[in-house]
Amino acid sequence: MLLEMLTKDINSEIFLLPSPTINFKHEAVRRFIEQYDRPDSIELERAVSLYYAVRDQIRYDPYTASSQLSDFSASRTLETGRGWCVPKAILYAACCRSIGIPARLGYADVRNHMSTANLRRLMGTDIFHWHGYTDVYLEGKWVKATPAFNIELCDKFHLKPLEFDGLEDSIYHPFDLAGRKHMEYLAYHGVFDDIPFDRIMNDFARYYPKLAASGLPGDFDREVDRETIQN
């Protein structure tokens, strides 16, 4: 009975519902899912296919960060074709929930050794608070999926791309392909059925005071090209 209760809780309907950000009923999100879903395959293969679609079809761009909740929505991310870890995790959660796979949002603080000089200057730190990933329920367990860095970005920074097989956690690698430090997980904030928007915005104002005044002006693609060519 306890196992049945826990299973029922794990597959709670709340992890399958749409929300203002996980808006998988939006036409743009539905079209994206139809394009990359594999409906004739098993559940795990469908989740993997959608993971790679979010990872590589949406360019990673931290300068798309916003203080408006609507800018975090799955549909908005598809409209711009760009996003950072938090909205990309939301988009992947939307994809999973739309095909009946329970998904929730996870957050952690990480020290990111891969960023541009301008981004580090604006943030005033190399710690990224509230890094976002997706927690997906597959094959009877929750697994972490991180569809943040698109393959082109990984190639330029000489990073090992984050693969996902639906069976094991897909989280940032501690070192890049040359053995240099890449990412350190410092603390986990837990998992949520939807984005804890107010908490994130409050912490951003606390930890990134420079951004409160200047926002995030920059051209991430151009910065990456300039710095990686130099290296």
Residue 155 has pLDDT above 90, yes or no: yes
Q: Residue 200: which of 76, 61, 63, 67 has the closest Cα?
A: 67
pLDDT at 8: 39
Cβ(166)–Cβ(42) below 8 Å: no
Residue range 196-213: mean pLDDT, rounded = 88
How sure is the predictor about 116, in pLDDT bands with cuts at 50, 70 and 90?
A: confident
* Residue 122, domain extent: 2-230
Q: Is the pTM of this model over 0.95?
A: no
230: pLDDT confidence band, cut at 50, 70 and 90?
A: low
First-last CA distance in the chain: 59
Check which CATH number belongs to the domain holding 76 and give it.
3.10.620
| Beta carbons of 224 and 153 less than 8 angstroms apart | yes
Please compute the mean of the pLDDT values over residues 128-136 and round it to a whole number: 97
Q: How many domains does the chain have?
A: 1
pLDDT at 55 over 80: yes
Quick check: 216 pLDDT over 90? no
Higher pLDDT among residues 178 and 87, named by residue = 87
Q: What percent of the chain has pLDDT over 70?
A: 91
Q: For residues 77-94, give the mean pLDDT.
A: 97
Helices 85-98, 27-36: axis angle to 10 degrees equals 80
Q: At 104, which helix (H) or strand (E)? A: strand 103-112
pLDDT at 7 over 50: no
Q: Element (H or E) spanning 57, and its range?
A: helix 43-57
| Residue 190, beta-bridge partner list | 107
The rounded percent of the chain whose pLDDT value lies above 90 is 73
Question: Which pLDDT score is estimated for 22?
Answer: 98
Give the model's confidence band at 223: pLDDT under 50 very low, under 70 low, under 90 confident, else very high: confident
